[in-house]
Amino acid sequence: MDGILALAADNLLSPIILFFALGLLAAFARSDLSIPEAIAKGMSIYLLFAIGFKGGVSVADHGIDAKLILSLLAGVVLSFAIPLIAFAMLRVMTRLDVTDAAAVAAHYGSISIVTFVAATSVIGSAGLTSEGYMVAVAAVMEAPAILSALWLIARYGKAGAGMEDGLMREILLNGSIVLLVGSFLIGWITGAEGMAMVSPLIVAPFQGVLCLFLLDMGLVAGRGLREARSVLTPGVFLFGVVMPPIGASLGLGAALLLGLSTGGTVLFMTLAASASYIAVPAAMRVALPEANPSVYLTLSLGVTFPFNLTLGIPLYLAVASAVTGG
């Protein structure tokens, strides 16, 4: 327990968390601090490029094995399954109707790539390494949850929701996935030689850019929370902090079955614990426009994202270290 608390304390005092907290506080205080939209987008492109490329280089270094394929499969299965659990919990814990509950559930089956990036930074600081292909696992976990949510609506809700023509193509080819997977493949193909060429851009500045990006995320999360407090009933809020550890437990089980390293286990737990706030909200606006965006955006961005960033990741790191002996 002391180890977990020490890890949490270390994490809370890291620059990335303190910048996120600064953003939150600035938003709560109604400061006019803002990161220009184009710069925020540029930083997210940089982070996806860097994390994808590093993952690819790591796979080039260590080679591929059956674990890679099984990890991808496990990621897909988890992404399909987590929304079913989340939906059942939401129906018990909250008064959300079927549409809102299914939309929220889809967010929890999908992943937050920023939380994943923060987790890679934390395990790096802890001196751990992970399987490079976890980046690819992150990419395959984006979309299946959306199908689960649409199935839930078809099964329990009213007719009318469905997969529109072109929606699946938009989800699978959204810019984040293309860049992440593309950078991963380029890193894999070019290996250490490629890394030597681009490392001045993607290694040294990474933490600084992540700090600025999380400052922006803090501002966005804080403003979202300020404007949508009314939707955060105690049950909804509780779901936002209870669901991540449940997802993380499923991720832990999968990682142990796969025999992943301690770092890889932390990342799998983080992926299963995180909730999407980029790809899934856009898909939900198209497929389930009746669902209230204030509920799912506030929960995933305003509650679960800060929870994972501050308490979740150190908790997952401590549990993974204890279980795997890392």
Partner 1 sequence: MQTHKAKRVEITIEAVMETRLTNALIKAGVTGFTILPVLGGSGRSGQWSREGQVSRAGGMVCVVCIIRPDRLDGLLDAAFAVVERHIGVVTVTDCEVLRAERF
**Under a CB-based contact definition with an 8 Å cutoff, are residues 137 and 325 in contact?**
no
Q: How far is the CB of 282 from partner 1 (least distance, A)?
A: 4
Q: In this complex, which beta carbon is closest to partner 1, that of residue 54 or of residue 223? A: 223
- By C-beta, is 222 or 263 nearer to partner 1? 222
As a whole number of angstroms, the distance between CA 271 and CA 75 comes to: 9
Nearest distance, CB of residue 246 and partner 1, angstroms: 24
Q: How far is the CB of 224 from partner 1 (least distance, A)?
A: 7
Q: Which is nearer to partner 1, 40 or 89 (CB)?
A: 40
Question: Residue ranges of the alpha helices (H) in the chain?
Answer: 2-12, 15-28, 37-62, 66-93, 98-109, 113-125, 134-140, 144-156, 167-172, 175-202, 206-227, 234-258, 262-273, 279-287, 293-297, 305-307, 313-324
Q: How far apart are CA 142 and CA 113, in angstroms?
A: 9
Question: Closest separation between CB of residue 164 and partner 1, Å?
Answer: 8
Shorter beta-carbon distance to partner 1: residue 33 or 77? 33
Any residues with CB less than 8 A from the CB of 230 and at least 6 apart, and which?
Answer: none
Q: How many residues does the chain have?
A: 326
Between 74 and 279, whose beta carbon lies closer to partner 1? Answer: 279
First-to-final CA distance of the chain? 16
Contact 112, 277 (CB under 8 A): yes
Binding footprint of partner 1 on the chain (CB under 8 A)? 27, 34, 37, 160, 217, 219-220, 223-224, 227-228, 277-279, 281-282, 284-286, 289-290, 293-294, 297, 301
The smaller minimum CB distance to partner 1, of residues 13 and 230, is found at 230
Of 209 and 282, CB closest to partner 1: 282
Minimum gap (Å) between residue 110 Cβ and partner 1: 12
Which of 224, 280, 269, 278 has its CA nearest to residue 247?
269
* Cα dist from 181 to 45, 49, 51, 87, 140, whole Å: 12, 9, 10, 29, 10
Query: Shortest gap between Cβ of 271 and partner 1 (angstroms)?
Result: 19
Least separation in angstroms between residue 298's CB and partner 1 is: 11
